[in-house]
């Protein structure tokens, strides 16, 4: 696709139809990771720098947006410089600069997006604004030869969606959560049972040593490809209260919760695959790092499907997926005046 440099308005070919190598530098700062990456032709990671704020937010039990935004300000120049240093590339070697536009925390997004715009302006390169959710899906193009069409299960802290990916740029959301996102449910249940932030990965660890059949938890009945996890969260709350101060079988509760979530997700994903007749399936988003969800989705290979999942470091927020998205997906925001947005409307 032809894009333009910001000052001299020179045409630059970017994406799968480009006739030269593309090196895209991307910045991601939508939540609590300040990240900068350089990716060659959408699939080959040259640098992947992530500054995590977990230590800061741990003491509050969750992300405090104002503090997160300030930490992004402290980290942004450092991660950009490190990406240049690690890659050995200079700004003139970069084909375009990309940044996450939304959804995410507005104050946080502003830092990364303005950095990406500034780099593009100063070095007279094209600017590419990327949707964070599309970027999560594109993490599956890294180090693989995956090509659409495929079915995607996107599970993150803020979203739970089944997406029909017909082509690099044409995607249809078939269903999504009507209340809590999977990651949100993990974090809330983790807090209920007293695990520190970030709860999801910690709950996953305990679940692996518990009995998944210890407690029968309810799978919400929701129409079509939509999901609901708030009832499950309440059921866990009731279960926790039933121990009334006695020692709780924490590992078994975690394992039973994880079993219920992973079963629900994979059941609907399988239906979607059968209905569309696709043979390829991908998972994406922070919760795609979950051991049981990965296991159950990869078990679809026994039914003849080809399964893709990003490497762990590309599941949670990172900038390589943003660079990959800037390369493959043409539904981007290329106007340098684009504003950040917190939610998909
Ligand atoms: O995609 P992500 O980094 O941020 C958003 O875009 O939301 O996802 C973060 C979410 C958090 O809710 C975190 O608890 C969850 O992903 N998560 C996990 C695991 N690793 C991260 N949830 C369950 N099991 C995991 N192993
Ligand atoms: Zn994310």
The CATH number corresponding to 2-142+316-327 among 3.10.129.10, 3.50.30.10, 1.10.10.10, 3.30.420.40 equals 3.30.420.40
Both tokens of residue 278?
């696709």
| Atom in ligand 1 nearest the alpha carbon of residue 293 | 24
End-to-end CA distance of the chain: 27
Q: Is there an atom of ligand 1 within 6 Å of 289 CB?
A: yes
HEC states along 92-121?
HHCCEEEEEEECCCHHHHHHHHHHHHHHHH
| Atom in ligand 1 nearest the alpha carbon of residue 132 | 6
Q: What residue ranges of the chain are covered by domains with CATH 3.30.420.40?
A: 2-142+316-327, 150-310
Rounded to the nearest whole angstrom, what is the distance from the C-alpha of residue 186 to the centroid of ligand 1? 8
**Residue with CA closest to ligand 1 atom 2:** 286
Closest CA to 253 of 179, 182, 294, 194: 194
Return the pLDDT at 166: 96
Rounded to the nearest whole angstrom, what is the distance from the C-alpha of residue 213 to the centroid of ligand 2? 30
DSSP 300-319: GGGGT-EEE---HHHHSS-S
Return the pLDDT at 345: 59
Q: Is there an atom of ligand 1 within 6 Å of 31 CB?
A: yes
280-284 sheet: strands from edge to edge: 171-176, 160-165, 150-155, 280-284, 306-308
Ion ligand 2 nearby residues (CB, 5 A):
156, 317
Return the pLDDT at 61: 78
Q: How far is CA 273 from CA 175, 185, 230, 260, in A?
A: 13, 25, 26, 20
Ligand 1 test: best mutation among 29, 63, 136, 156, most atoms within 8 Å of CB? Answer: 156
User: Per the CATH hierarchy, to which homologous superfamily does domain 150-310 belong?
Assistant: ATPase, nucleotide binding domain (3.30.420.40)
Q: Is there an atom of ligand 1 within 6 Å of 156 CB?
A: yes
Q: How far is CA 147 from CA 19, 21, 167, 269, 284, in A?
A: 19, 19, 8, 19, 15
Return the pLDDT at 60: 81
**Residue with CA closest to ligand 1 atom 1:** 286
Q: Is there an atom of ligand 1 within 6 Å of 199 CB?
A: yes
In the numeric block, the tokens 């970017």 are attached to 14
Ligand 1 test: best mutation among 136, 153, 286, most atoms within 8 Å of CB? Answer: 286
pTM: 0.94
Rounded to the nearest whole angstrom, what is the distance from the C-alpha of residue 160 to the centroid of ligand 1? 11
As a whole number of angstroms, the distance between CA 184 and CA 200 comes to 8
Return the pLDDT at 185: 95
What is the mean pLDDT of each successive set of 10 residues along the chain, which is 345 residues long?
91 93 98 95 98 83 87 96 98 98 96 98 97 96 98 95 96 95 95 90 97 95 94 95 92 97 97 96 96 98 97 96 96 92 80
Q: Is there an atom of ligand 1 within 6 Å of 186 CB?
A: yes
**Residue with CA closest to ligand 1 atom 7:** 157
């Amino acid at each position: 696709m032809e894009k333009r440099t910001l000052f001299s308005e020179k045409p630059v070919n970017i994406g799968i139809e480009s006739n030269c190598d593309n090196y895209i530098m991307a910045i991601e700062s939508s939540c609590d990771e300040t990240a900068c990456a350089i990716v060659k032709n959408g699939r080959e990671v040259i640098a992947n720098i992530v500054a995590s704020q977990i230590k800061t937010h741990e003491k509050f039990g969750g992300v405090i947006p104002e503090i997160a935004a300030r930490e992004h300000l402290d980290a942004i120049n450092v991660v950009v410089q490190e990406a240049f240093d690690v890659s050995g590339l200079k700004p003139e070697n970069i084909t375009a600069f990309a940044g996450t536009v939304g959804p995410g925390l507005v104050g946080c997004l502003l830092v990364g997006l303005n950095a990406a715009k500034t780099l593009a302006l100063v070095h007279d390169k094209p600017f590419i604004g990327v949707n964070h959710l599309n970027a999560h899906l594109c993490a599956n193009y890294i180090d693989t030869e995956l090509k659409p069409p495929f079915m995607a299960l996107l599970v993150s802290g803020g979203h739970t969606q089944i997406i029909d990916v017909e082509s690099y740029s044409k995607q249809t959301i078939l269903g999504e959560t009507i209340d809590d996102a999977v990651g949100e449910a993990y974090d809330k249940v983790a807090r209920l049972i007293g695990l520190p932030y970030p709860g999801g990965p910690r709950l996953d660890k305990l679940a692996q040593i518990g009995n998944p059949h210890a407690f029968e938890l309810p799978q919400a009945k929701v129409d079509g490809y939509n999901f609901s996890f708030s009832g499950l969260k309440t059921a866990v709350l009731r279960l926790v209260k039933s121990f009334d101060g006695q020692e709780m079988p924490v590992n078994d509760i975690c394992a039973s919760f994880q079993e219920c979530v992973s079963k629900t997700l994979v059941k609907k994903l399988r239906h979607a695959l059968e209905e569309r007749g696709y043979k390829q399936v991908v998972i994406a988003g922070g919760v795609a790092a979950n051991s049981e969800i990965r296991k159950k989705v990869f078990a679809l290979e026994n039914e003849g499907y080809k399964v893709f999942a990003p490497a762990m470091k590309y599941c949670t927020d990172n900038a390589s997926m943003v660079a990959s998205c800037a390369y493959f997906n043409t539904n981007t925001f290329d106007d340098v005046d684009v504003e950040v947005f917190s939610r998909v409307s």
